[in-house]
Amino acid sequence: MNIYKPIIMETTKENDIRKYIDIFKAEGIRIENKTFDKINEIEVSAEETEFEKCIFKNCKISGNFENAVFHDILFDNCDFSNCIFREGSFIRTEMINSKFTGCDFTDSRIYHFSAKETLFDYANFSHTNIEEMIFEETDLTSCSFQECKMKNIYFENSKLIRTNIYNTPLKGIDFSSNEMSGIVTSIKDLEGAIVNNFQAIELSKLLGIIIK
């Protein structure tokens, strides 16, 4: 496993993210070296905005980040539920103890991404290119990974309940430490996946086998 964490040096603390989004839209000045702390209950329109070497801490934000770029970013104890990140770019991004329930990450590009103790239930990663990514102690209940291109993705001690991983090859991916049930996939997709005995019994339902 060789997943790089965000490279963030000194930052200035800010409490008005809208101001910097407006500056980017007007002048194209990238939002960088900022710590956005305790920004709560706001909605933003941040389409195509570029964030670099920033920290989001204790924030609750909703809105549209379609086509946005997140490069060397840390999300710590944040709630971005139901935000739109479609066609976004995530490079060296880390999420800790945060909530991304129902978020739309479709058609995105993700490189060196780590998430720990974070909620992604009902999130959608379909049609996404993923390389070097780990979900650790995360909830991926009813999350979707349809038609993804995956390279070096890891799931550790996470929940994959009714997770949709269809038309996405899973060869070499180790699911053995995770809670898995009701997963939506195909026999072809599962070829070469690594599972434990209990998961194998659960997945045998895809074959129509009844085990007594």
CATH at residue 29: 2.160.20.80
pLDDT of residue 210: 63
| Residue 21 lies inside a defined structural domain of this protein | yes
| Residue 168 lies inside a defined structural domain of this protein | no
| Residue 1 lies inside a defined structural domain of this protein | no
| Residue 173 lies inside a defined structural domain of this protein | no
pLDDT band at 1 (very low <50, low <70, confident <90, very high): confident
Half-sphere exposure of 13 (CA within 13 A, CB side): 6
Element (H, E) at 96: strand 89-96
| Residue 114 lies inside a defined structural domain of this protein | yes
Q: Identify which of 161, 207, 150 has the alpha carbon closest to the alpha carbon of residue 183.
A: 161
- Cβ(56)–Cβ(83) below 8 Å: no
Domain span at residue 112 reads 12-150
Polymer length of the chain = 212
Task: Please provide the average confidence, as pLDDT, over all residues in the chain.
Answer: 95
Number of domains in the chain: 1
- CB atoms closer than 10 angstroms to residue 109: 16
| Residue 34 lies inside a defined structural domain of this protein | yes
Kindly report, residue by residue over 9-49, the tens digit of the pLDDT: 999 999 999 999 999 999 999 999 999 999 998 999 999 99
32 three-state secondary structure: strand
8-state DSSP, 26: H
pLDDT average, residue stretch 60-85: 98
How far apart are the C-alpha atoms of 118 and 14, rounded to whole Å? 24
pLDDT average, residue stretch 171-200: 93
- Cβ(110)–Cβ(92) below 8 Å: no
| Residue 5 lies inside a defined structural domain of this protein | no
- Cβ(141)–Cβ(165) below 8 Å: no
State pTM to two decimals.
Answer: 0.93
Kindly report, residue by residue over 40-71, the tens digit of the pLDDT: 989 999 999 999 999 999 999 999 999 999 99
What are residue 174's DSSP bridge partners? Answer: 194
How far apart are the C-alpha atoms of 193 and 151, rounded to whole Å? 13
